[in-house]
Structure formats: C-alpha cells, structure tokens
Amino acid sequence: MPEMTLVDSVNDALHTAMDEDDRVVVMGEDVGVNGGVFRATEGLHDSYGEERVIDTPLAEAGIVGTALGMAMYGLRPVPEIQFMDFIYPGFDQIVNEIAKLRYRSGDQYEAPMVIRTPYGGGIRGGHYHSQSSEAYFTHTPGLKIVVPSTPQDTKGLLLSAIEDPDPVMFLEPKRVYRAVSDDVPEGHYTEPIGEARLAREGEDVTLIAYGAMHHVAMEAAERAADEGVSCEVVDLRTLVPFDRETLEESVTKTGRAVIVQEAPRTAGFAAELSAFLHEECILHMIAPVQRVTGLDTPFPYTLEEEYLPTPTRVLDAIDETLTY
C-alpha cells in the first residue's frame, strides 16, 4: 500500500470516485486549474475536464445551491467550500434546502452530495480561517457529518460519503493535512459512516475525540501511560450519526471519560456526547465527564496555542477524573 498524507488521500478518493462513476462532479473556488488552495483537487481538471471539475465564482450559496440541483437530477456533486469559515453564506441552502429535501418531497427526491470543507485551527490562519463550526450542522436533521483523522479513514469515508443517497458534510482537519501519513489501500474501498474506531485499548479512562484532536488525545494517552495510566482512545469519525454503542461499551468499562474538541466550549458537540454518556452510563461512571475544548472567544491569531487543546490540558482532565 502506498503511504499518503491526509490531503493526498482526499485527492486519491476523488480520483477513484470520478474514475468509477461519471456522475461525480467536483466544484468550488479554485478547485480546477489551480487544484485547490490546499491542492486537494490537484490533477482532477487535467484528468476529467472542465465539465466535471468546475471552477466557480466566490459565491458559497451558489455553489451549494447549484450542487443541490445537480444532485436532484442524477449527478453526484462534491462541492468544496474553501474554508469552513466561508460556509455561512450557504448556510440557508444547506440547512433549509439540502437537509430537508427528502422530508419535504415525501421521499420523491434525494440529495446525494458531499460538501467538503477544511476546518479548524493550527495553521496560523486567524479568526476567519480557523473555525470549527460542526455543532451548527449537527443540530440539523437530514445531514450526516463526517470528520476523519487519518489518511486511511479519510479515503474510505469520503468514498462512502459520495456513494451515500443523502447529503454528507465532510469536514477535513487541515491542521493535519500534511502532518500525518498512513498506508492507504489503492483503488476502491469504504469505511462505514456511523462507526467509531477504537484506536487504543485501555482500562482507566476513555478519551473521545475526532479530527485533529484525535492526535492530541493519542499523544496524551501515550504520556499518561508513562505515568501508569491506561487510556482507551475512541476516534469518533462520524458525528451524525455517532456510534453510541462503542462509546457506551468503552465508558461502561473504564467508568471515566474525557472528550476533546477544538470548537468553543459552550454548546459544542462534546456537550452532546457528555449528555449521552451521563444518560446512558451513569450507573457505571466513577466520575463526571470532563471536556477539553477551545475557548468561548473568536479564534485568536497570536494566542493560537493558548486556545487549542493540548496533550497537557488533556492530561490535566485525566487527572481530574482519576482523583474525583
């Protein structure tokens, strides 16, 4: 198997899907000739032409609205929003049209489309290029939300998303686009949407994370092991639907949980996970769930490392739950 970075695996998945299905269309700002601001779509324009790899105006509502029309009439569009921070002009189209199409049409129409977008901090992008806005969309029935953390999962999950009959938001942690690499199978394969990955087995506490924060959790688990603490690490992979069974089994076993997200703390997705665990696992829990999150402020430029969760902050939360 070839070794790929996460952004390479996105590109490989798009090539694979477009080779196999001529209904797959890629569109967005600079995705064509330029190959995308992160080069995630590099080479697609040369391989499939301007009718299937479409450079669009800077108009996010137009991008996702046009993609919806394509999906309703038989295509499989994969629109890219250049940064998740830019998705808000298309918010109405996503939550009021795309997410509700199957319901409002009485199952007459589907919206098989994947909205790809890089999210999160860690690249010195400042407050307009670093936001983690997943909670806005997890609150919207009709959308599936996928957030991979490894190159192998990224390719398999993206191919699953493209084949899905319903709309999927595919959030790519740009912080680790080129910071992690992995052996990625060639050709077509899929990873199941809605299933978490048990990345590390442990006995004392469960660490739950997704996207770039998975790697923070893994580093914290390794450092905790040096202190004699056994951490189980669950890579959520999918936020909607999230894998209730795996989380319940893990926290029932360990009795403790620490959830890591880089989005602001208030009403973040970690709060939903915390509520679920307290509702379903309370009789097995030794301590309340701990959350390690971003801050309730705009994303800062000069204080980026103060804002983002770190392994040290996760270790502090592990200590809190162990000494409760």
Band the pLDDT of 1: cuts 50, 70, 90.
confident
Does 81 score more than 90 pLDDT?
yes
Counting Cα atoms < 13 Å in the Cβ hemisphere of 163 gives 16
Q: Which residue has tokens 């639907």? A: 241
Q: What are phi and psi of 171, to 5 degrees?
A: -95, 120
For the chain, how many residues are written?
324
Give the chain's domains with CATH numbers: 3-183 (3.40.50.970), 197-322 (3.40.50.920)
Residue that has been written with the tokens 């983690």 in this structure: 132
The residue to which tokens 């923070």 are assigned: 216
Q: One of 15, 45, 127, 129 is an active-site residue; which one?
A: 129
Rounded average pLDDT over 47-74: 97
Read off the pLDDT of each residue in 18-36 and give the average, rounded to a whole number: 97
Give 131-187 pLDDT, tens digit per residue: 999 999 999 999 999 999 999 999 999 999 999 999 999 999 999 999 999 999 999
Residue 229, pLDDT score: 98
Q: Is 127 a catalytic residue?
A: no
- As a whole number of angstroms, the distance between CA 129 and CA 154 comes to 21
Alpha helices in the chain (DSSP H): 6-20, 44-48, 60-72, 91-92, 101-104, 134-138, 151-163, 212-226, 244-254, 269-281, 304-307, 311-322
- Residue carrying the six token digits 């790519």: 172
The Cα–Cα gap between 129 and 127 comes to 6
